[in-house]
Amino acid sequence: MRKYIVLVAFLAMSLAGMAQSKPIYLDESRTEEERINDLMGRLTLDDKIAIIHAQSKFSSPGIKRLGIRDFWTDDGPHGVRPDVLWDQWEQAGQTNDSCVAFPALTCLAATWNPDMAHRYGVALGEEARYRSKDMILGPGVNIYRTPLNGRNFEYMGEDPYLASMMVAPYVQGLQSQGVAACVKHYALNNNEVNRHSTNVIIDDRTLHEIYLPAFKAAVQQGHAWGIMGAYNLYKNIHNCQNTYLLNDILKRDWGFDGVVVSDWGGAHDTEQAITGGLDMEFGSWTNGLNEGYPNAYDSYYLAQPYKKLIEQGKYSTRELDDKVRRVLRLFLRTTLNAHRPFGSMCSDEHYQAAREIAAEGIVLLKNQGDVLPLDPKKPCRVLVVGENAIKMMTVGGGSSSLKVQREVSPLDGLKKRLGPAFLVDYARGYVGDVTGEYNGVTTGQDLKDDRSPEQLIAEAVDKARQADYVLFFGGLNKSNHQDAEEYDRLDYAMPYGQDKVIEALAAANKNLVVINISGNAVAMPWVKKVPAIVQGWFIGSEAGTALASVLVGDVNPSGKLPFTWPATLADVPAHKLGAYPGTKRANENIWDLEYKEGLYMGYRGVDHFKTRPTFAFGHGKSYTTFALGKATASAKTITAADSISFTVNVKNTGNRAGAEVLQLYVADLKSALPRPAKELKGFKKVYLQPGESRDVTITIGRDALSYYDDTAHQWVAEPGDFEVLLGTASDNLPARVRFTLQ
């Protein structure tokens, strides 16, 4: 017995000794800063330099001798991108890197539902975690300034408040899986044309009120672990090494404790990168874009050139240590986090999330004569027209291009939902991009069609005359100069002669429904001739299923536009004022782009310039009807320290269950500085059964009344009279109430 007692005592002492010798950085009972301090004491100069720059297209090295594995990033905001070779953009040829494609972020924003944003982030984080990714390069929150921006589909619309409310829960959901968000592209990256050489000129008020709030919300509310710098310049300095944006605003004013990651090839100068706030440099090839040679990553601006400057005594390790501490903090939250979930991939739950987010974001723009929904219990002849009814949309568009396990087309989704009792026919209507390939991923579709436009229209019209309903699926795709990274659209019109097809179909059949598939608004010269219009977005793997569920009424549409849909490009303030795409400097490859419209973009511009959009910001119809009661306020007078609540009764007056979004806008009735006529400052989505009513309350505080004083460099809530406008779109705000800020 004594031998066993001695043995147990020995083992206990040994275990205690092991516990005492355990490195502090592995001891999760220690504070984050204690663990970082311990790690800092173990690193050499070479270790520090190594972890602040890439070692491959999507990874940076960990610290092997300390048991810290490589750190892996991956695109993108809509699904986990397939793996590429170590040092080439070509596919790695794996068979286990297919994913679920979630709806594009314009669709997510159109749900006006922060709970959906959190669900989206969780599902994406689970897929990333299963694939051993440590950082997802997204979400994107650049503001929708012009409908020509090829990358608008990756962002969350034109309004800073809406984008702020949607990005924070997305980030929280993603990071709950131990996967870092890298919110992009900070900042003022609002066009793709000349994106590497555009120098944005903007006043401080517009910068702080329009283009920064969503990033600030991602940092202060979402607690994002990563921010990606943008390609463009501001104040003549590239944003990936811009001390005003990165050090002064992001890190000092907002208290950001994460890492600033360069966009791929976004760094341009070692000394500016050292002092300008960049923490991790990523790219491809030697210069980050298109030139390369062996060991190219050691030649990055924050690699051997940085080390050489330290060894020469030109720089101390002060800036380096700050960068390294941030990277180590990122490691502790991801690769050194022993409690991260394992994740899952292509699960039924993820497909369900993708389907439900898509359906909730689809916007019913017009439904004259109640053409929709189709009645699935009354078989009839349905003609589907258009390339976008059959074309896969998950491949292409740039860095958000995906390799999916499956993608349900709109035509297949409709056929499956309607069943064999319906006679569902198809006509091509037009031919667009038939390539179906991006970065080594191919759709496998053969979309070639050699018929002339006249022949295609004639076939569609002939079939339309015999159909009970015609569903035209058109819009844009993810080809160059449409919805695609690196390219802006060349004009506002729908491509491939689609307007002629729609005009012909409208003349042939009165029950025409146009479903626009895009991430951007498009010109609709035929809008008065078409009874029903649906905005279908790029909605991923479950596109066909989600669209069918809305078109037949299984889901009552409740999406609302996250941007203004202008009638013409001339109505867009940036274009009205000649403030796009900028002016090229003489003898320099720099384009100066002044945001001449200032605050007055989107619906703010509609009010200011008194234009009439095709569809207003926040617009979206339903298969049921809603009535709003009179608005009441919790007080008539408040102080700056108070909050104030507004209540409106919302009633479902139709015969279908549905959801409405109560939107709250604030108007400052007298201000020392010019302000927009109204600004979105609150919203709430409410689900109601037929005949059901509910009092909906929205509370706002001082921040909702404030503007940025660019002289005092601070936010100001100016005493005086305000009016709150409540309704269901920026052009439909019947409930109003005034109050005074003392």
**Residue 319: its H or E element:** helix 318-333
Which residue type occupies 154? E
What is d(CA 455, CA 477) in angstroms, rounded to the nearest whole number?
Answer: 22
Which residue type occupies 13? M
SS3 19: helix
Other residues' Cβ atoms within 10 Å of the Cβ of residue 316: 9
SS3 209: helix
What is d(CA 538, CA 105) in angstroms, rounded to the nearest whole number?
Answer: 9
Q: Is-contact 459 505, C-beta < 8 A? A: no
Q: Is-contact 118 170, C-beta < 8 A? A: yes
Phi/psi at 601 (5° precision)? -120, 165
Beta strands in 245-385 (DSSP E): 259-261, 363-367, 381-385
Q: What is the 3-state secondary structure (H, E, C) of 544-610?
A: HHHHHHHHCCCCCCCCCCCCCECCCHHHCHHHHCCCCCCEECCCCCCEEEECCCCCCCHHHHHHHHC
- Between strands 644-652 and 626-628, the pairing is antiparallel
What is d(CA 665, CA 645) in angstroms, rounded to the nearest whole number?
Answer: 13
Other residues' Cβ atoms within 10 Å of the Cβ of residue 523: 18
Q: Is-contact 587 581, C-beta < 8 A? A: no
What is d(CA 642, CA 704) in angstroms, rounded to the nearest whole number?
Answer: 12
Dihedral of CA 573/578/579/580: which sign? positive
- Between strands 437-438 and 441-442, the pairing is antiparallel
What is d(CA 128, CA 73) in angstroms, rounded to the nearest whole number?
Answer: 9
- Residue 483: left (phi > 0), alpha (psi -120 to 50), or beta? beta
Other residues' Cβ atoms within 10 Å of the Cβ of residue 462: 12
**Residue 118: its H or E element:** helix 114-130
Instruction: Reply yes or no on whether 263 is catalytic.
Output: yes
User: What single DSSP character describes residue 650?
Assistant: E
Which of 97, 159, 263, 483 is flagged as catalytic? 263
The two tokens of residue 309 are 């400057």
Q: What is the 3-state secondary structure (H, E, C) of 77-117?
A: CCCCCCCECCCCCCECCCCCCCECCCCCHHHHHHCCCHHHH
- Provide the terminal-to-terminal Cα distance of the chain, rounded to the nearest Å: 82
Q: What share of the chain is helix, strand, coil (3-state, %, to 5)?
A: 30, 20, 50
- The residues near 616 (Cβ < 8 Å, ≥ 6 apart) are 561, 564, 565, 603, 606, 729, 730, 731, 732
| Bridge partners of residue 366, in order along the sequence | 533
Length of the chain: 742
SS3 531: coil
Other residues' Cβ atoms within 10 Å of the Cβ of residue 635: 12
What is d(CA 378, CA 68) in angstroms, rounded to the nearest whole number?
Answer: 62
SS3 326: helix
The two tokens of residue 574 are 């940036």
| C-alpha R_g of the chain | 27
What is d(CA 275, CA 277) in angstroms, rounded to the nearest whole number?
Answer: 6
Instruction: Spell 477-493 as b/e; 16+ CB within 10 A means b.
Output: bbbebbbbbbbbbeebe
| Catalytic annotation, residues | 263
